[in-house]
């Protein structure tokens, strides 16, 4: 790791938060934030200085609280999304965090939504997994968690493939059609 001073830490933060492509791994960025928080005395002061929310700074700093095994995966950029870090960090038990991180690394998909399934694989209670998903959602996005039995789930997947759309789009369309029909009935 390179030696940090105020100028270097600010350069790392700006280079890695103001662009689409991040040149440095999340551990490097988190260390830069940690240095700045210690230098300026609080996350709030750092947030004002760099133009980010204190929540975003807290999320970066969360990376440094994860077990060493996960930090190694992060520094190697095998886990390279702050959203994935957020999902893993919600698990309080380090062994569950490591299990979820390994499951994520070994999964074929790198979609953050898949972390819910990985969390479930790490034996996290469904209520906690739902809480994680709901807390991670962007503002303005509304999520409903629906339970389907296996037969119904397979039918949705099969029909979505037939229509060449995502299963969520199919369910959303079904709900939209139902609401339209309900509104028409109420007008009568």
Q: Is residue 55 very low, low, confident or very high in pLDDT (cuts 50, 70, 90)?
A: very high
pLDDT at 9 over 80: yes
CA–CA dist 95, 7 (Å, integer) = 37
What is the rounded average pLDDT of the residues 130-159?
A: 70
pLDDT at 60 over 60: yes
Q: Is residue 175 very low, low, confident or very high in pLDDT (cuts 50, 70, 90)?
A: confident
Numbers of helices and strands, H then E, in the chain: 11, 0
Q: Which residues contact 62 (CB under 8 A, 6 or more apart)?
A: 30, 85, 86, 89
Q: Are 70 and 101 in contact (CB under 8 A)?
A: yes
For the entire predicted model, the pTM comes to 0.59
Q: Is residue 54 very low, low, confident or very high in pLDDT (cuts 50, 70, 90)?
A: very high
CA–CA dist 26, 170 (Å, integer) = 36
């Amino acid at each position: 790791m390179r030696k940090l001073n105020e100028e270097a830490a600010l350069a790392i933060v700006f280079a890695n938060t103001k662009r689409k492509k991040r040149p440095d791994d999340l551990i490097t960025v988190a260390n830069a934030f940690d240095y700045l928080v210690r230098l300026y005395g609080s996350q709030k002061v750092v947030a004002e200085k760099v133009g980010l929310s204190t929540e975003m700074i807290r999320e970066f700093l969360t990376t440094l609280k994860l077990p060493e095994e996960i930090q190694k995966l992060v520094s190697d950029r095998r886990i390279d999304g702050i959203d994935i870090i957020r999902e893993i960090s919600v698990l309080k038990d380090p062994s569950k965090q490591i299990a979820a991180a390994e499951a994520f690394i070994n999964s074929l998909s790198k979609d953050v939504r898949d972390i819910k399934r990985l969390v479930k694989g790490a034996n996290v209670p469904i209520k906690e997994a739902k809480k994680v998903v709901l807390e991670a959602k962007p503002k303005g996005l509304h999520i409903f968690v629906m339970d389907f039995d296996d037969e119904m789930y397979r039918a949705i997947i099969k029909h979505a493939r037939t229509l060449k759309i995502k299963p969520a789009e199919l369910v959303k369309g079904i709900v939209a059609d139902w609401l339209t029909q309900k509104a028409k009935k109420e007008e009568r």
